């Protein structure tokens, strides 16, 4: 086996701290596998929670929302639309062809 100073390109077994884990028995491998499975399940649960929150109705659109919340929501949406229109107009003026 030839020793070189080149870095190993096989990154499949690297941890977050870029050190190669040492396994001394099959039990070590099983424990690592279970830890990775728990981490993946926790990440999956977090992703599902965020995905569901993406499509929930905002508080301002619920029937029991106060007038203040509705007004605040309408102002926020209106300012966002105005900001988008202003950006579009500025970009249009910047990139339109001059005759």
Domain boundaries, the chain: 15-56, 60-99
- Report pTM: 0.46
6, pLDDT greater than 60: no
Taking the C-alpha atoms of residue 86 and residue 99, their distance in angstroms, rounded to an integer, is 23
Q: What is the residue-averaged pLDDT of the chain?
A: 82
| Residue 69 CB-density burial (10 A; 0-12 exposed, 13-18 middle, 19+ buried) | middle
1, pLDDT greater than 50: no
39, pLDDT greater than 80: yes
11, pLDDT greater than 80: no
Contacts of 72 (CB under 8 A, 6+ apart): 60
């Amino acid at each position: 086996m030839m020793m070189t100073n080149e870095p190993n390109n096989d990154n499949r077994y690297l941890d977050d701290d870029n050190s190669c884990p040492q396994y001394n028995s099959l039990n070590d491998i099983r424990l690592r596998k279970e830890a990775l499975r728990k981490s993946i399940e926790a990440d999956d649960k977090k992703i599902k929670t965020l995905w569901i929150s993406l499509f929930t109705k905002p508080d301002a659109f619920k029937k029991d929302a106060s007038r203040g919340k509705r007004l605040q929501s309408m102002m926020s949406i209106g300012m966002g639309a105005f900001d988008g229109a202003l950006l579009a107009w500025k970009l249009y003026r910047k990139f339109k062809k001059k005759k």
